[in-house]
Structure 1
Amino acid sequence: MTNFLAEMLGTMILIILGDGVVANVVLNKTKGQNSGWIVISTGWALGVAIPVFIFGTISGAHFNPAVTLGLATIGKFSWSSVPTYLLAQFIGAFLGAVIVWIFYKPHFQATEDQAAKLGVFCTGPAIKDTSSNFIGEVIGTFILVFGILGIGNTPMVDGLQPIVVGLIVWAIGLTLGGTTGYAINPARDLGPRIAHYILPIHGKGDSDWGYAWIPVAAPIVGGIIASISYNIIF
């Protein structure tokens, strides 16, 4: 139960801060409106690092099914714990998205752009191309999971590792994020997308379920490939 709560609350905080920075940038009449991609990428990086600081010593701070499944594939995490972690991550992501909607509700009402509203909750491609979008998410998640595994080989002072994890996410956002919005995390995308579908958001439009499978399936593939590759090399 402790691990479940840590993964749920950690993922919830990740989404509150990550979806929150997107809302701050894209919704109308916020003080951060139009502040740009660097602000979004930085907010997401910090949104990952902060809950890792809080919960890393409790659950390992996965907050991402691609990480959980990748570690289980190479024997670094118990398969018996996988369902608990995944359930906690998806619930946490959903709850985080609901909190962002409550927080920014007046700004959702002041925004007519349906794509912007959807973009607060989940990712979408800049150019729709199924194979390219899928490959992009695989590569981005590969960098994330391979990087997380790899930094364990470098001696660090206590408390530095969460910062490095945040830097990995920041680097992915700045360099690879512009094509699909770098979901690189099935829970991060699907949980908030379900929230978008369910919540009574003013003038929200479609939840783009036709695309939704890519930010779920591709990160899982990328995370497993990264973990196997790391296991072979190291």
Structure 2
Amino acid sequence: MNAAIERRVLVVEDEPTIAESVAARLRAEGFVVELAGDGPAAVAAARRTPPDAVVLDVMLPGFDGLEVCRRLQAERPVPILMLTARDDENDMLVGLAVGADDYLTKPFSMRELAARVHALVRRATKTAAVDPGQDFLRVGDLEINRAERRVLRSGVEAQLTPTEFDLLLHLAERPRAVLPRERLLAEVWGWADASGTRTVDSHIKGLRRKLGADLIRTVHGVGYALEAPRC
């Protein structure tokens, strides 16, 4: 990456060995990396120099990664990849609920972490032109404003993370069509493999919690489809 398109990543991790390893890999990938070792330092660093993405450990001194995530997203939305030491779906769902876009469970491969960060930054910075006549998408009582990235159901606005918005829009553009998890990973997350199908499942749960359990239908063993909600 040259100076004109450098992307900054804030790595928040209190274990120095892990922090330095992550930073070294991301720098090798062309990112400018800043390190923070606790919750207050992470929030201060993000305020001082807004990052393009954050790699955020859940367990931190000061205050934990969930609180860091809440504070960062309240001030300025930013793609966040959370790191957790426990393969606990409840932890993952809480992280997604407070604004994380993706997660990795320790131990993880540096190659996978780098691929996830690239995907987050790529999706956050793409500036695909939107036809002014296609700014709004309506499916039953669901209304999606592409340009403003806002979602309303029955007139009530839902606060979605960037990834939740992209996933919902992808489903809403193909109402009733069953989209396999692997296809969603490729087209929404930009992943080349199907190793993260639980990520899709967790984001679907987040959408159901925010927009209603009846909105997205599960097709067991295949994927998901957006139902046409009643007006």
Greater RCO (CA < 8 Å, at least 6 residues apart): 1
Higher helix share: 1
TM-score scaled to structure 1, two decimals?
Answer: 0.24
User: TM-score, normalising length from structure 2?
Assistant: 0.24
Which has more strand, going by share of residues?
2
Query: Highest CA radius of gyration, 1 or 2?
Result: 2
